[in-house]
A and B are shown apart, each in its own frame.
Chain A
């Protein structure tokens, strides 16, 4: 009887602790905003008339996405990640998904980890030929007719990879293959947050597909939130 009470009490404590664990802050946060200064290149409307099944999905033509901006000089689609200071991590079991829809890549910038499964879907009524222009990883390009199953791939080295379609020249995107799970992509207002950083000294890098990368050092102690902001120089051409 005594043993059983002790066991029950132990179970209660165990469950309470495990329930609480996700709510407990497990480290510091780096957050901030990505902005640009200057005049960014004009984003041009895309003429997809050669691919009728895609063109008819848009009432007004979509524009290119090499520089996507938000209000107050916010720069969108910037990959912010810990490039040094954090240990390499094993890939999560969840696959990263890259979709070809309306002859466009969704999302435009996809970040995932080394050795994480990458699934490429074709939701269009036409064939695509995805061609990520990898330089340090093995380069491949694969044809994917309408209705075919997802292409499953992996990258074994960290790299920023420009992605294009060999059939539709206007299709363009970016893969960010990263060493750990501490990454974010700047949102519509240019903001980002990297939570759950254990205390330590880190290098935070921001990468933009047209403007390259910038890095800053940051030291996190306890569960504090540090603000780190990046400003990219934009050019009209």
Chain B
């Protein structure tokens, strides 16, 4: 019976490694300049963690096979060093693994988060609120008008709380429900939560960043492929969370200019 358990463990370990080793799951298309680094990092993590998992399971299966069905009263074999060696060994092993992932991962992480966008990056403000995203472009003057939370009037599409009557800079701001961007141009996304925590997730951009109320966070990225992609909220934010999404529309520069003109006329 013990030997059978060892065999089953081996089958489970190898069967669960199979779809990952053979890339059975197709990854979504990567449309960003930094996405390949994230993909490599994920692949490295999967290889490292997967290898450790399979080896540990095989070791367990071996022990179950070798030491099961012992006779009553037989002498118990103790590994040299006892529990202390095991604990210290585990710390060193796991510590090295985590450290290695961090060191190799910094090229994926730091290149995205710890660098500044180019000065000519297109600035767009993203606002997350229950249960929709809205985006704001600064308009021809290149400046965002100040926000006045008391002026928020959703019935009149004033989702950001702009006061065009008093703020000249707010008059040409363009507010939209979709995030349209030109292809191959760096975007500097300024993130702002209206109420609770939300998240900005675009699978194809390999970006997932939380919105935190009270914190001005920002992201920068460059999309390399035109198309329409989903922006999802991946932070449970309330009753309508399941329904909180918007679209990322990556356009050619020409189409983007046309779109911008159209949106400006609707304001």
Contact = CB atoms under 8 A, between A and B. Distances in A.
Whether chain B is bound by chain A comes out as yes
A11 interface: no
Contact of A127 (B132, B155, B243): B243
B6 interface: no
A45 B130 contact: no
Nearest to B159: A169
Interface residues of B, number: 26
Contacts of A168: 131-132
A49 B177 contact: yes
Nearest to B176: A47
B150 interface: no
Nearest to A48: B177
A106 interface: no
Nearest to B245: A50
A166 interface: yes
Contacts of B245: 50
B216 interface: no
B154 A44 contact: no
Interface in B85-142: 129-133
Contact of B266 (A44, A172, A210): A44
B155 A164 contact: yes
Contacts, number: 68
Contacts of A169: 129-132, 154, 159
Interface in B208-259: 239-240, 243-247
B68 interface: no
Interface in A55-70: 64-66
B243 A50 contact: yes
A127 B238 CA distance: 14
A66 B247 contact: no
B178 interface: yes
A37 interface: no
Contact of B154 (A126, A129, A164): A164
A232 to B, nearest CB: 16
Interface string B256-267: 000000000011
B52 interface: no
A121 B244 CA distance: 23
Nearest to A164: B154
Interface of B: 129-133, 153-157, 159, 163-165, 176-178, 239-240, 243-247, 266-267
Interface of A: 41-42, 44-51, 64-66, 126-127, 129, 143, 162, 164, 166-170, 172, 209-210, 235-237
28 contacts: A41-B156, A45-B266, A46-B157, A47-B177, A48-B177, A49-B246, A49-B247, A50-B133, A50-B177, A50-B243, A50-B244, A50-B245, A126-B243, A164-B155, A166-B130, A166-B239, A167-B131, A167-B239, A167-B240, A167-B243, A169-B129, A169-B131, A169-B132, A169-B159, A172-B154, A209-B155, A235-B165, A237-B163
Given A49-B246, A172-B155, 17 more contacts: A42-B267, A47-B177, A50-B133, A50-B244, A64-B155, A126-B243, A127-B240, A129-B240, A143-B239, A166-B131, A167-B240, A167-B243, A168-B132, A169-B131, A170-B157, A210-B156, A237-B165
